[in-house]
Amino acid sequence: MKTNWITPLSVLALAVLVIAIASWYLFPGWQKTEGGFWQLLSVAFVSVLAIAKDLIAYVKEWGSLFKPKEKIAKKLDADDTVLADVPVTALQETKQPSGASAKAALRSLLLESFREQDLREVVSDHFPELSASIGSKSSTREIATELIEFVFSRRQVDELLAIVKTYNPRQYQHHAQAIQDAFGASNGKK
């Protein structure tokens, strides 16, 4: 178990030492400063940690770019295949609501149906024009809110609902009544 962290620490310590010694000779100003080697050692330590952190982040990002994208629907359990069918077409017959209750119901459905990375993939695959405006630091809630505003402004709510139903039928079924109520209520129906 100790070998799991000894090797990375050894590599970091060696990198700090090499950078500190090289800087000691390449930049003679450190030799003239009182306590210069210790200052240089601490600067080298902080620099190596920052570089290591960034390298790890880049490796993770590049690794995720080359992994094949799994369809979210494949992640569902086998028992999810037998569900009562709630037709999306029933929602398509209503007008596109702008009410807060419809947006709240849709936001709840999205947040419970997708993890952050899955929601990013849905946006990228199905709404590519929105994908560019979602920053890499956006949270799941922020992505869901931007996606809801986007589909409402382009009158594509029914497409989003069909996508959610395809990818996560369990959550779609769980939220179907609330969505139907919210969409009906926003159009004066109940």
> How many structural domains is the chain composed of?
2
Residues 177 and 130 in one domain: yes
Where is the domain boundary, 26, 49, 66? 66
Q: Say what the pLDDT of residue 95 is.
A: 43
Q: Say what the pLDDT of residue 100 is.
A: 72
| Distances from the Cα of 152 to the Cα of 19, 33, 92, 95, 175, angstroms | 55, 64, 13, 11, 18
Residues 23 and 54 in one domain: yes
Residues 178 and 120 in one domain: yes
Q: Say what the pLDDT of residue 93 is.
A: 41
Per-residue pLDDT of the chain (190 residues; tens, 9 = 90+): 445 667 777 888 888 889 889 988 998 888 888 988 899 889 989 988 888 888 888 777 776 655 544 444 444 444 344 334 444 444 444 444 446 788 888 899 999 989 988 888 888 888 888 888 887 767 889 888 899 999 999 999 899 999 999 988 988 898 888 888 877 644 433 3
Q: Say what the pLDDT of residue 99 is.
A: 63
Q: Say what the pLDDT of residue 94 is.
A: 41
Q: Which domain holds residue 105?
A: 72-186
Residues 104 and 166 in one domain: yes
Residues 60 and 81 in one domain: no
Q: What is the CA radius of gyration of the chain?
A: 26
Q: Could you tell me where the DSSP H helices lie in 27-139? A: 29-32, 36-66, 89-92, 100-113, 116-126, 128-131
Closest CA to 125 of 152, 87, 160: 160
Residues 50 and 93 in one domain: no
Residues 109 and 124 in one domain: yes
Residues 22 and 81 in one domain: no
The pair of structure tokens assigned to 89 is: 């077409």
- Cα–Cα distance for residue pair 151/159, rounded to 1 Å: 8
Where is the domain boundary, 22, 39, 66? 66
Residues 90 and 142 in one domain: yes
In the three-class reduction of DSSP (H, G, I as helix; E, B as strand; rest coil), residue 6 is classed as helix
- Cα–Cα distance for residue pair 181/190, rounded to 1 Å: 6
Residues 7 and 88 in one domain: no
Where is the domain boundary, 11, 37, 66? 66
Residues 106 and 164 in one domain: yes
Q: Say what the pLDDT of residue 63 is.
A: 66
Rounded to 10°, the helix 169-186/100-113 angle is 180
